[in-house]
Amino acid sequence: MPVETRAEATQRTAPTPGRSVAAIAVLLAIVAVLWWSVGFLADPTAVDRVVAGILSLIGADGAATVIEQRGLTPVSQKLGSAVVALVVGVVGVWALFIAANRAIDATFGLRTREKIRPWLFVGPGIGLIFLYLLLPMVGTIYESFTDSDGAFTLSHYQFALTDPSMLLAFRNNVLWLVFGTTGSVLIGVGFAALVDRVKRESLAKSFIFLPLSISFVGASVIWRFVYAWQPEGQPQTGLVNAIITGLGFEPVPILSLSPLNTFALIVVMIWLQTGFAMVIFSAAIKSVPSEVIEAARLDGAGEFVIFLRIILPMIRGTVLTVATAIFIAILKVFDIVWVMGRGGNFDTEVVATRMFKEMFQFQNFGRASALAVLLLLVVVPAMVVNIRNMNRQGVGA
């Protein structure tokens, strides 16, 4: 539990009006500078003007006018604004915290200070979380029940739950969730158990882990190439079809045959997520006490039985956690279907891609919102479990 900060109480002097006014003035000045720099960052040509200003300040008027007229090259303009953003985001934010902390000390009495200070600490972060997550969520829920005239309606949900194209999307999502999650977890736990027993364990793990650093879009390109298809008779440059034709069968246009294509996309997700599962499982398996395993071995249990009857039950909680994590990741699958299924063509549509289409192509914000709310409903149990776990551990315990 947090400690009563008696020290602060004894050390600080009581606030005086003069100190207080000065500290608040500094704080306001910093807020003003931050506000100005945010506006500055919103203006793409601002960096040009600053550079020109600096050049004319040091006497290089010729260069300054050139830059004012032609502007910087786009690359230096962009890098310049990134540098400004970094300065504002680090120096500016710290200056804000320091100045506000001083202003609190200089203005309020001992008790009030310590009541206000935590809000200074959490305020900016929580404020952004409210602005970017909580308030928009409320807006989306409202929008999902509102028709184009602003009246209450359930039609968006009716569409989402009954339209045949939506039912297809839901079917695909279920396929994704069932096969993607079990595939990643099973291969992850199996590989973790196997790799525990070979030399060069960490090297082998790196290979499985590596795809975790690849973007969904990059992985989509990688696997489109693996699944590439040429008509029969032409040389197959895709690995899978080369193997199929090598075995004497006809080449298969994997990505345009439903429902085969959805399974082909799920394989990509398994390829990406297994590494995550494997790393967590591997650590959990190593934490199983060796005495337990020794004892079982002395009793004559085989390695497979030990894994099934002892290790697996002992890491059950981890399996559940990892499965939930992957489930949630897969629920929101978008990029892979968008890139490989060409925006959900050939019956690969999932809820997230459909939501995107409703939003950008059809501008039907009500429907898009309803789909987002349905995705949210699926993760609500995970939210509840997370919060309950947190309460059990106790905040600040």
Partner 1 sequence: MSVTAPRTVEAPPQTQLATRAPRRIAWRRRGDDGPTRVPGQRSLLVRALVAVIVVVWSLPTMGLLISSFRPAAEISTTGWWTVFAHPFEVTQWTLENYAGVLAEQGMFDAFVNSVVIAIPATVIPISLAAFAAYAFAWIDFPGRKPLFALVVGLLVVPLQMTFIPLLELYVRWDLTGTYLGTWLAHTGFGLPMAVFLLYNYIADLPKEILESAYVDGASHFAAFTRLVLPLAAPVLAAFAIFQFLWVWNDFLVAFVFLGTSSDVAVLTAQLQQLVGTRGESWHLLTAGAFVSMVVPLVVFLAMQRHFVRGLLTGGVKG
Distance of alpha carbon 364 from alpha carbon 368, whole angstroms: 6
Closest CA to 356 of 169, 125, 218: 169
Q: How far is the CB of 58 from partner 1 (least distance, A)?
A: 26
CB atoms within 10 A of CB 361: 9
Closest CA to 64 of 55, 75, 77, 74: 55
What is the four-CA torsion angle of 360, 363, 366, 367, rounded to 10 degrees? -60
Q: E strand or H helix at 158, and its extent?
A: helix 155-162
Segment contacting partner 1 by CB under 8 A, of 48-56, 57-65, 158-166, 200-208: 200-208
> 238: which DSSP letter?
S
| Subset of residues 208 to 227 that bind partner 1, contact rule: CB under 8 A | 208-218, 220-226
Number of residues that bind partner 1 (CB under 8 A): 146
| Subset of residues 35 to 54 that bind partner 1, contact rule: CB under 8 A | 38, 41-42, 44
Choose, by CB under 8 A, the member of 60, 72, 260, 279 that binds partner 1: 279
Answer whether 288's CB lies under 8 Å from 203's CB. Answer: no
1 sits near partner 1 (criterion: CB under 8 A)? yes
* Burial class (CB within 10 angstroms; exposed 0-12, middle 13-18, buried 19+) of 368: buried
365 sits near partner 1 (criterion: CB under 8 A)? yes
Query: Looking up tokens 């968008």, which residue turns up?
Result: 338
26 sits near partner 1 (criterion: CB under 8 A)? no
Choose, by CB under 8 A, the member of 158, 237, 313, 362 that binds partner 1: 237
Choose, by CB under 8 A, the member of 53, 303, 305, 362 that binds partner 1: 303
In the structure, how many helices (H) and strands (E) does the chain have? Answer: 22, 0
169 sits near partner 1 (criterion: CB under 8 A)? no
Q: How far is the CB of 227 from partner 1 (least distance, A)?
A: 10
155 sits near partner 1 (criterion: CB under 8 A)? no
SS3 126: helix
CA atoms within 13 A on the CB side of 30: 20
CA atoms within 13 A on the CB side of 199: 0
164 sits near partner 1 (criterion: CB under 8 A)? no
- One DSSP character per residue, 66-103 reads HHHHH---HHHHHHHHHHHHHHIIIIIHHHHHHHHHHH
Distance of alpha carbon 302 from alpha carbon 293, whole angstroms: 11
Answer whether 354's CB lies under 8 Å from 166's CB. Answer: yes
Q: Which is nearer to partner 1, 60 or 314 (CB)?
A: 314
338 sits near partner 1 (criterion: CB under 8 A)? yes
345 sits near partner 1 (criterion: CB under 8 A)? no
Distance of alpha carbon 82 from alpha carbon 75, whole angstroms: 11
Choose, by CB under 8 A, the member of 293, 296, 312, 345 that binds partner 1: 293
86 sits near partner 1 (criterion: CB under 8 A)? yes
Segment contacting partner 1 by CB under 8 A, of 53-61, 62-70, 159-167, 370-378: 370-378
The set of residues, in sequence order, having a beta carbon less than 8 Å from that of 118 and lying 6+ positions away, is none
Choose, by CB under 8 A, the member of 22, 31, 153, 335 that binds partner 1: 335
Query: Looking up tokens 């440059």, which residue turns up?
Result: 237
Q: How far is the CB of 351 from partner 1 (least distance, A)?
A: 9
Q: Which is nearer to partner 1, 176 or 223 (CB)?
A: 223
Q: Which is nearer to partner 1, 64 or 92 (CB)?
A: 92
Choose, by CB under 8 A, the member of 27, 64, 81, 264 that binds partner 1: 81
376 sits near partner 1 (criterion: CB under 8 A)? yes
Q: How far is the CB of 268 from partner 1 (least distance, A)?
A: 9
Query: How close are the terminal C-alpha atoms of the chain, in Å?
Result: 6
Tell me the β-bridge partners of 146: 152
288 sits near partner 1 (criterion: CB under 8 A)? yes
Segment contacting partner 1 by CB under 8 A, of 58-66, 110-118, 145-153, 169-177: 110-118
78 sits near partner 1 (criterion: CB under 8 A)? yes
206 sits near partner 1 (criterion: CB under 8 A)? yes
174 sits near partner 1 (criterion: CB under 8 A)? no
Site string for partner 1, 113-132 (x = CB under 8 A): -xx-xxxxxx-xxx-xx-xx
Q: Which is nearer to partner 1, 62 or 118 (CB)?
A: 118
